Structure 1
Amino acid sequence: MPVSTNLPATLPRLDFAPWRLSGVVYTALLNDPRQVAALGDAVHQPPYKAPPAHPVLAVRPRNTLAGDGDAIGVPAGADALRTGPGLGLVIGRTACRVPAASALDWIAGYLVANDLSLPISSHYRPAVRQMARDGFCPLGPAVPAGAVADPDALAITLALDGAVVWQGHTSGRVRGVAQLLADVTDFMTLQPGDVLLLGIPADAPLAAPGQAMVVDMPGVGRLHNTLVAEAA
């Protein structure tokens, strides 16, 4: 199986819509309250001097995108990657200043994501080189939004080599699905086919080269990928 080094030939298709994913993916940082708490007094130091009052986003460049079944390269010298099992929101129509009360109406579908990175000691100022690497953002197939009754009540598991090593939930975030979409679109516009990731959990485990990863989110889908060590 080849290591993913570019955008997949075909992004996951939404079979309930006439368009594909746009290839634009944003991920919410610090959307787990435990991550904010772990910053401690650092949030009160310059240059910010306060905890974030608005969503903190990172863009996942197109080179980071991979698909279900792709092998992901682990850079030479790295012992493991931080996994990032989570939920992706697929935007269905132009979203600008979306009200939280009806924000789910702007979502066309949901997908499983695994927002990988080299281990980051602090989310206060994560380095681009630790996150924006080839294949570090695999995405699973999308399901229609109507198939998911409550996106804030989804169980998630991560298995490595067939053994479940982590169990989590989409609940308990700083901003749930509707509030995150509302707050993001208060300062930027999302386009149809864009994907907004809910954010990685604070306790996401590490995975080593050679291990097979399966992120399972009942009602949304499963995402399979294998980590492969890159040559020096």
Structure 2
Amino acid sequence: MSTTTFFMPSGTVYGVLLNFRGEVQALAPHMSEPPYKAPPKAPVLYIKPANTWSAHGAAIAVPAKVPQVEVGATVAMVMGQDVQAERVDTALKSVAGYVLMNDLSIPHTSFYRPPVKYKCLDGFLGVGPALMAAQAAGDPSHFALQVHINGVLKQSVGFADLVRHAAQLLTEVSEFMTLRRGDVLMLGCDLGRPLAQAGDRIDISAPGFATLSNTLVAEELA
């Protein structure tokens, strides 16, 4: 009897906020208000711990009190070696490959400090089944993905619209922390994230990538 082995991270998974120009423009008026009073000058990171990881094809439980979840379709870089104080022109040489991810969250209004209780629920990170090797990927700014919910197109995302392109993001992050081999750094989620609910099937696809599919199910109460 054969079994299929899907990719799962071996290190820490980091997400990044406000890395699409459209989202920054939409939230610009709020960034000038207290307590921040200005847009962030460095990447805004958060962690998706191991309890959130869901393999391709897995059912993801949605808590009974949560009517809808936000679909965060993105591409992530997987480190092939340790990265520290990397230069922009060489940063992507440290990337082993790229993978689709679905960074689910409960809808919320915090954009500077993403609350753990909304983003780190069990199963709330769908992980694509396979890496696309960095050598085959080409320029990450050419990535384009689509989100289908129950077979209906709900979002299209182009990664030419990043505030910090992949190499720049990796460079800035590695200035203040070392990314280890196996760590994963998402490129960010665009404005207009679709909503989904228990019973929905979410498919995230992009040219050259193995499609990521998960189904949301209602949480079973003991």
TM-score (norm 2): 0.92
Unpaired runs of at least 5, structure 1 = 1-9, 14-20
Q: Deviations over 1:83-115 (max 9, x none)?
A: 011101000111001101111101010001011
Residue of structure 1 equivalent to 2:38: 50
Is residue 86–residue 170 contact of structure 1 (8 Å, CA) maintained in 2?
no
Distance, in Å, in 1 between the alignment partners of 2:177 and 2:113 is: 21
Distance, in Å, in 1 between the alignment partners of 2:138 and 2:27 is: 34
Distance, in Å, in 1 between the alignment partners of 2:133 and 2:113 is: 35
Residue of structure 2 equivalent to 1:61: 49
CA shift for structure 1 position 126: 2.7
Residue of structure 1 equivalent to 2:135: 146
Find out whether 1:172 has 2:161 as its counterpart: yes
Distance, in Å, in 1 between the alignment partners of 2:206 and 2:29 is: 35
TM-score (norm 1): 0.88
Within the candidate set 92, 95, 114, 1:107 is matched to 95
CA shift for structure 1 position 11: 6.4
Residue of structure 2 equivalent to 1:4: none
Is residue 150–residue 201 contact of structure 2 (8 Å, CA) maintained in 1?
yes
Distance, in Å, in 2 between the alignment partners of 1:99 and 1:23 is: 22
Residue of structure 1 equivalent to 2:211: 222
Is residue 112–residue 139 contact of structure 1 (8 Å, CA) maintained in 2?
yes
Is residue 148–residue 220 contact of structure 1 (8 Å, CA) maintained in 2?
no
Residue of structure 1 equivalent to 2:13: 25
Unpaired runs of at least 5, structure 2 = none
Distance, in Å, in 1 between the alignment partners of 2:201 and 2:209 is: 20
CA shift for structure 1 position 82: 0.4
Find out whether 1:196 has 2:191 as its counterpart: no
Aligned AA (2:188): G
Residue of structure 2 equivalent to 1:16: none
CA shift for structure 1 position 167: 1.3
Distance, in Å, in 2 between the alignment partners of 1:126 and 1:182 is: 22
Find out whether 1:133 has 2:121 as its counterpart: yes
Distance, in Å, in 1 between the alignment partners of 2:6 and 2:81 is: 18
For the residue of structure 2 that corresponds to 1:224, the secondary structure is strand
Residue of structure 2 equivalent to 1:205: 194
Alignment of 1:31-42 (within 5 A): 31-42=19-30
Residue of structure 1 equivalent to 2:7: 12
Query: Could you say if the C-alpha distance between residues 95 and 11 of structure 1 is closer, same or farther in structure 2, counting changes exceeding 3 Å?
Result: farther
Equivalent residue pairs, number: 216
Residue identity over aligned pairs, in percent, reads: 41
